């Protein structure tokens, strides 16, 4: 019973793409075939026991019928180690995992909001959602934006890319939520808009609030710490308004923003 979600994935290419990011293309035909925007994979960065756990990464694109793309930022031990993996080697890959973004309906105008390193799953969504898409990108400064190539790719895929930086070094000065709010306020026909957001918790809470104020549906991708990715360890819990927790890896990572208990969430997680 070899599962079709556990793979030795061949590294097709692996290159730095600027601003601290790497682009990793993996050959994993079954995963590539079934992957949906918003889903993720767990990658083991080495065969040693330190680091021990696999790392979760969103799928940023399906490149061909057999390959998928990961865009990752080097932030710590695991991602640093991952950078040394060479094309031709293979990595243990588990996925696709989780539930993706609900598929935009025909008339929907998807509004994507990315903060920090939350853009990869949204890139895949843009790839699938077609040209009506709006993308909001926010960062502290120009250097913290996604790699220039990715911004370009977004510009090709989407109708419009709106950029904001705290210091005004690129796009408008402000946060992505500031310019999102302004955009929503001035947009007249809001009934087809749906928000899809991924980024730090504080930003997701803010987006969620704006969505509620404008009465627009909003889906957020919650990047929690994960051990198993399979719903077994109960480590990736997201607090629900209705009480209790749901698992980001199984019932998520994408949730309807109204389901989530943002008060507790924001309180506890201001770190990220």
Partner 1 sequence: MRKTKDNKSAIRKETRPDRIGKSAIESPDLSIDFAGIKLKNPVLTASGTFGYGEEFAEFVDLNKLGGVIVKGISLKPIKGNPPPRIWETPSGMLNAIGLENPGVDVFLNEKMPYLRKYDTAVFVNMFGYSLEEYVGVAERLDGAQGISGIEVNISCPNVKAGGMAFGTDLRATFELLSAVRKATRLPLIAKLSPNVTDVTAFARAAADAGCDGLSLINTLLGMAIDVRCRKPRLANCTGGLSGPAIRPVAVRMVWQAARSVSLPIIGMGGIVTGEDAMEFLLAGASAVAVGTANFINPRATLDVLDGIEGFMREQKIADLREIIGKVDAG
Ligand X SMILES: Cc1cc2nc3c(=O)[nH]c(=O)nc-3n(C[C@H](O)[C@H](O)[C@H](O)COP(=O)(O)OP(=O)(O)OC[C@H]3O[C@@H](n4cnc5c(N)ncnc54)[C@H](O)[C@@H]3O)c2cc1C
Whole-angstrom distance, CA of residue 230 vs CA of residue 262: 24
DSSP letter for 189, please: -
Question: In degrees to the nearest 10, what's the CA dihedral of 258, 116, 29, 131?
Answer: 70
Whole-angstrom distance, CA of residue 127 vs CA of residue 118: 15
Find residue 15's DSSP bridge partners.
Answer: 23
Site string for ligand X, 185-224 (x = CB under 6 A): --------------------------------------xx
Whole-angstrom distance, CA of residue 237 vs CA of residue 40: 16
Q: Which stretch binds its own copies (CB under 8 A): 47-55, 110-118, 198-206, 218-226?
A: 47-55
| CB-based closest residue to ligand FES | 249
Backbone φ, ψ for residue 116 (5° rounding) = 55, -130
Q: Which stretch binds its own copies (CB under 8 A): 41-49, 96-104, 110-118, 176-184?
A: 41-49
Site string for ligand X, 130-149 (x = CB under 6 A): --------------------
Find the binder of ligand X among 37, 120, 147, 239 (CB under 6 A): 120
51 near its own copies (CB under 8 A): yes
Question: How far is residue 197 CA from its own chain's centroid?
Answer: 8
Site string for ligand X, 56-85 (x = CB under 6 A): xxx------------xxx-xxxxx------
Backbone φ, ψ for residue 169 (5° rounding) = -70, -15
- Binder of residue 101, out of ligand X, ligand FES, its own copies, none (CB less than 5 to 8 A by kind): none
46 near its own copies (CB under 8 A): yes
From residue 83, how far is each of 10, 20, 60, 74, 181 by CA, in Å? 15, 11, 17, 8, 37
Smallest gap from Cβ 98 to ligand FES, in A, equals 9
Residues 6+ apart with CB under 8 A from 10: 26, 27, 28, 88, 89, 90
Whole-angstrom distance, CA of residue 201 vs CA of residue 11: 31
Find the binder of partner 1 among 18, 227, 259, 266 (CB under 8 A): 227
Which pair of tokens denotes residue 193? 């808009």
Site string for partner 1, 53-92 (x = CB under 8 A): xx-------------------------------------x
52 near ligand FES (CB under 6 A): no
Positions in the binding site for ligand FES (CB under 6 A): 226-229, 231-236, 247, 249-250
């Amino acid at each position: 019973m070899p599962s079709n979600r556990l793979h030795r994935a061949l590294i097709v290419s692996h290159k730095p793409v600027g601003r601290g990011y790497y682009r990793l293309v993996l050959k994993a035909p079954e995963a590539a075939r079934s992957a949906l925007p918003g889903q993720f994979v767990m990658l083991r960065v080495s065969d040693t026991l330190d680091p021990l756990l696999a790392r979760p990464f969103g799928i940023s694109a399906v490149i061909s019928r057999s390959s998928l793309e990961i865009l990752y930022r080097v932030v710590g031990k695991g991602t640093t180690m991952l950078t040394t993996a060479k094309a031709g080697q293979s990595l243990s890959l588990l996925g696709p995992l989780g539930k993706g973004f609900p598929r935009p309906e025909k008339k929907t105008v998807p509004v994507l909001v990315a903060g920090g390193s939350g853009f990869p799953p949204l890139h895949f969504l843009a790839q699938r959602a077609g040209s009506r898409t709006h993308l909001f990108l926010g960062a502290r400064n120009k250097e913290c934006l996604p790699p220039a190539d990715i911004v370009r790719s977004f510009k090709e895929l989407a109708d419009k890319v709106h950029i904001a930086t705290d210091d005004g070094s690129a796009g408008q000065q402000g946060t992505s939520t500031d310019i999102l709010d302004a955009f929503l306020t001035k947009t007249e026909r809001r009934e087809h808009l749906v928000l899809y957001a991924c980024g730090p918790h504080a930003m997701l809470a803010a987006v969620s609030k704006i969505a509620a104020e404008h009465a627009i549906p909003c889906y957020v991708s919650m990047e929690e710490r994960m051990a198993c990715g399979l719903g077994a360890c109960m480590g990736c819990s997201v607090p629900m308004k209705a009480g209790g927790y749901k698992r980001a890896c199984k019932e998520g990572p994408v949730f309807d923003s109204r389901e989530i208990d943002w008060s507790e969430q924001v309180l506890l997680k201001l770190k990220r």
